[in-house]
Amino acid sequence: MRIAAFILTLILLQVFTFGLGRSLQWLFAPFTGRKTHRWLMACAYLLTNGLIAGIFTALFFQTAHWAFRAMAFWMVALLFAAYAALATFVLYLLLRKFMAQPPLSRALRVFAPLFFIGLAAFAVFNAYVPTVRHASVTINKKMAKPLRIGMASDMHFGVLFGARQMDKLAGIMAQEKVDIILLPGDLMDDNVDAYLKENMRPHLEKLRAPLGVYATLGNHDLFGHQAEIRREVEKAGITVLANEAVEKHGLLLVGRNDEMDTKRPPADEILRGKNTGLPVLLMDHRPTSIDAHAKLPVDIQVSGHVHNGQVAPANFIVAALYDLAYGYKQQGNGHYFVSSGYGFWGVPTRLGSRSEVWIIDVEGK
């Protein structure tokens, strides 16, 4: 399955690269000749396949992080170029009966790059300007008083998403007057290098709630630097629950590491011997165990990981792969929330998704 997906990706990269080359040839046709056209196509293919070769080389030397990020930028550029080409073609079909060919061609050659730039700007806006989503649920257990949960997943704090976004997140939680904050994984972008270099700890320490801030580890927190990530996050006053459950403030708080932790126990084992008569709040990075958890005394589960695809049309792909790829559903006695994430992976762009924070109001029966 993975090999087939890899081969399909390589084929699609070649197809999209051809589309980019043809688009560039059309764009510069009034100013260049056939020789330049050939160079434009050749340069597009050299860049795509040079990045592919770079990934294989970086994997061999175990320095693949930069190569994957560079390829992610290029893949988004290819996709946005395809969207621009499609929009330009549709506009051509709409206007060709009303405008003469020469002025229409000139107008479209202005429209195409402007559409690309506008789309990229909109995608960056979606990545850096979060929205706040509200939900209210009633659980089948008694509660002394209602609870307001602030949930943010997939922050990926690092080079492109750092102190300013930490301050913004803290401000949102304070403004919403949340009682407790849950961070279900991918706290850092693979390591703490940028976090330490930029001295982000004072900014992360601003994230506070009366009942505390709790987190678990996602797949990007488990790429060999989990000990450093956990240590730095806990220094900032955040409690990391790594395959464990704690009873606090009349709640049972549970955190499961991402499934990359091959030794993580199932949720029923973590809950064994615990007071599950209390409201159970579970952080599980990937939303892959909902069916199993719906048979347990779990009241609220918060997850992330999927990013709602981050860049369309990937949102349609993940919707087909996951039973709940984004949003909310009730199953059994539990309420399940999957966030598109507060940050992003690789490229600071979101299309068909948006950076977000969830505010979940919980009442007892």
Per residue of the chain (365 residues), what is the pLDDT tens digit? 668 878 888 999 999 999 999 999 999 999 888 889 999 999 999 999 999 988 888 666 666 567 788 899 999 999 999 999 999 999 999 999 999 989 999 999 999 999 999 999 999 999 999 999 999 999 999 999 999 999 999 999 999 999 999 999 999 999 999 999 999 999 999 999 999 999 999 999 999 999 999 999 999 999 999 999 999 999 999 999 999 999 999 999 999 999 999 999 999 999 999 999 999 999 999 999 999 999 999 999 999 999 999 999 999 999 999 999 999 999 999 999 999 999 999 899 999 999 999 999 999 98
Q: What is the pLDDT of residue 259?
A: 95
N-to-C CA span, the chain = 45
Nearest alpha carbon to residue 331 among 181, 141, 140, 142:
140
Longest dimension (CA), the chain: 78
The CATH code that applies to domain 132-363 is 3.60.21.10
| Side-chain-side CA neighbours of residue 348 (13 Å) | 13
Q: Are 270 and 299 in contact (CB under 8 A)?
A: no
Q: What is the DSSP track for 19-81?
A: HHHHHHHHHTTTT--HHHHHHHHHHHHHHHHHHHHHHHHHHHTT-HHHHHHHHHHHHHHHHHH
Q: How far is CA 182 from CA 150, 176, 207, 218, 261, in A?
A: 6, 14, 11, 13, 20
Question: In this structure, which amino acid lies at residue 192?
Answer: V
Query: Distance between CA atoms of 270 and 291, rounded to whole angstroms?
Result: 17
Q: What is the enclosing helix (H) or strand (E) of 357?
A: strand 356-363
Three-class DSSP category at 134: strand
Q: What is the pLDDT of residue 87?
A: 98
Three-class DSSP category at 84: helix
Q: Are 244 and 264 in contact (CB under 8 A)?
A: no
| Side-chain-side CA neighbours of residue 185 (13 Å) | 32
DSSP 8-state symbol, 218: -
Query: Distance between CA atoms of 358 and 152, rounded to whole angstroms?
Result: 6
pTM: 0.93
Q: Are 359 and 142 in contact (CB under 8 A)?
A: no
Q: What is the pLDDT of residue 57?
A: 80
CA 15 to chain centre: 26
Query: Distance between CA atoms of 334 and 332, rounded to whole angstroms?
Result: 5
Query: Distance between CA atoms of 345 and 343, rounded to whole angstroms?
Result: 7
Q: Where in the chain is the domain with CATH 3.60.21.10?
A: 132-363
Q: What is the pLDDT of residue 62?
A: 61
Nearest alpha carbon to residue 188 among 226, 152, 214:
226
Other CB atoms within a 10 A radius of the CB of residue 202 amount to 11
Q: Residue 87, exposed/middle/buried by CB under 10 A (0-12, 13-18, 19+)?
A: middle
Q: Are 257 and 243 in contact (CB under 8 A)?
A: yes
